[in-house]
């Protein structure tokens, strides 16, 4: 199974641990990734500014993967949502496609609508399959309780995702977590948004939104929050100290990327999964694994 790996803006500079763990896990499970040097921003930030430019940016990236004849694997949920949405719209709307292709000619590119876009976690769930992953688990994380965070754009708008998971009662990430042998625990407001969408517009509000979830998870005594989006991570991990200051509460809650825990369960050595780059220290978790 080969995919064009779409890193987006945040992953390659601010989530190297996620990228590293995803590549290692992919390698272990037989996923082959092609890096396309000309991939740029997916277009997400431009959606608020100018819809046509937003579609053009996404179409430009989609056409690059088409040229390589590969489906796209995204690590960022916003990239996943944007590229899936535009891909669907351009496949269905011939008039729009023609117009976009006219404009796209300035970069010498053309969109044909030949590929699919999938988030890394969805690829694990649908393309690799739970059975196969389960067979490969060597070191079950039996004593751990993790709080899953789906984030918004992995699931929504559900219309563009063909409803592969239920946005009101999602289950795919919990199943993936349970595959590792760990327990995926319930908690209040699990579907809650991280607030990342307005971090640049209204930081105080954004951080308060993130604080709610950290608070809900902390009360469960979970070992860590497990997520699949680099921007959700910026909110919960990179900004955790700031949130602690703002809300005058100490959380000290480790935040892990799903491929990091799957990697552990698959027997990939800890130091190959980028844990040293996690900001909230995870030493305690790792030491329990021995």
Give min distance, CB of 125 to other proteins, in A: 20
In angstroms, the CA 275 to CA 286 distance is: 9
Give Cα separations from 44 to 40, 77, 79, 246, 269 (angstroms): 11, 11, 7, 28, 35
Closest CA to 195 of 224, 223, 166, 236: 236
Question: How many residues interact with other proteins (rule CB under 8 A)?
Answer: 56
* 40 binding other proteins? (CB under 8 A): yes
Say if CB 109 and CB 64 are below 8 A apart: yes
- The interface mask with other proteins, positions 229-248, x = CB under 8 A, is --------------------
97 near other proteins, rule: CB under 8 A:
no
Tell whether residue 34 is a contact of other proteins (CB under 8 A).
no
- And the tokens for 205? 């509000």
State which residue, 41 or 68, has the beta carbon closest to other proteins: 41
Q: Which of 143, 198 has the CB closer to other proteins?
A: 198
Task: Provide the minimum distance between the beta carbon of 17 and other proteins in the complex, in angstroms, as a whole number.
Answer: 9
**Terminus-to-terminus CA distance in the chain, angstroms?**
33
228 binds other proteins (CB under 8 A): no
At its nearest, how many Å lie between other proteins and the CB of residue 116? 21
Q: Does 201 bind other proteins (CB under 8 A)?
A: yes
Among 1, 27, 32, 51, binds other proteins (CB under 8 A): 51
192 binding other proteins? (CB under 8 A): yes
Q: Which residue, 179 or 206, is less far from other proteins as judged by CB?
A: 206
- Binding other proteins (rule: CB under 8 A), the pick from 1, 27, 32, 48 is 48
Site for other proteins in 4-33 (CB under 8 A): 7-10, 12-14, 16, 19-20, 23
Instruction: Decide: helix, strand or coil at residue 112.
Output: coil
Closer to other proteins by Cβ: residue 67 or 181: 67
SS in 3 state form for 186-222?
CCCCCCCCCCHHHCCCCHHHHHHHHHHHHHHHHCCCC
Looking from the CA of 98 toward its CB, the CA atoms found within 13 Å total 2
Residue of 247, 223, 251, 249 lying closest to 237 (CA atoms): 251
Least distance CB 259 / other proteins (angstroms): 14
Q: Is 209 in the site for other proteins (CB under 8 A)?
A: yes
Q: Of the candidates 4, 46, 123, 124, which one interacts with other proteins according to CB under 8 A?
A: 46
169 secondary structure, DSSP code:
S
The DSSP code for 269 is -
């Amino acid at each position: 199974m080969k995919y064009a790996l779409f890193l987006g803006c945040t992953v390659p500079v601010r989530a190297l641990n996620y990228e590293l763990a995803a590549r290692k896990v992919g390698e272990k499970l037989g996923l082959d990734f092609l890096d396309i040097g000309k991939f740029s921003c997916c277009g997400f930030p431009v959606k608020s500014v100018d819809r046509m430019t937003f579609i053009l940016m996404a179409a430009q990236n989609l056409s690059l993967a088409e040229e390589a004849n590969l489906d796209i694997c995204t690590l960022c949920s916003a990239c996943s949502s944007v590229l899936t949405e535009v891909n669907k719209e351009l496949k269905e709307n011939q008039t729009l496609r023609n117009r976009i292709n006219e404009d796209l000619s300035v970069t010498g590119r053309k969109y044909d609508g030949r590929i699919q876009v999938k988030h890394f976690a969805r690829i694990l769930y649908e393309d690799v399959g739970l059975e196969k992953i389960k067979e490969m688990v060597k070191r079950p994380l039996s004593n751990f309780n993790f709080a899953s965070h789906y984030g918004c754009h992995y699931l929504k708008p559900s219309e563009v995702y063909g409803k592969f998971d239920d946005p009101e009662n999602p289950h795919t990430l919990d199943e993936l977590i349970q595959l590792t042998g760990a327990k995926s625990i319930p908690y209040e407001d699990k579907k809650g948004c991280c607030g990342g969408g307005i971090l640049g517009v209204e930081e105080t509000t954004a951080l308060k939104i993130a604080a709610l979830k950290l608070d809900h998870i902390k009360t469960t005594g979970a070992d860590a929050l497990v997520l699949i989006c680099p921007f959700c991570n910026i909110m919960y991990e990179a900004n955790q100290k700031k949130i602690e200051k703002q809300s005058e509460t100490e959380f000290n809650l480790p935040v892990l990327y799903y491929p990091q825990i799957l990697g552990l369960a698959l027997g990939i050595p800890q130091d190959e999964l980028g844990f040293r780059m996690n900001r909230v220290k995870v030493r305690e978790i790792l030491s329990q694994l021995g």
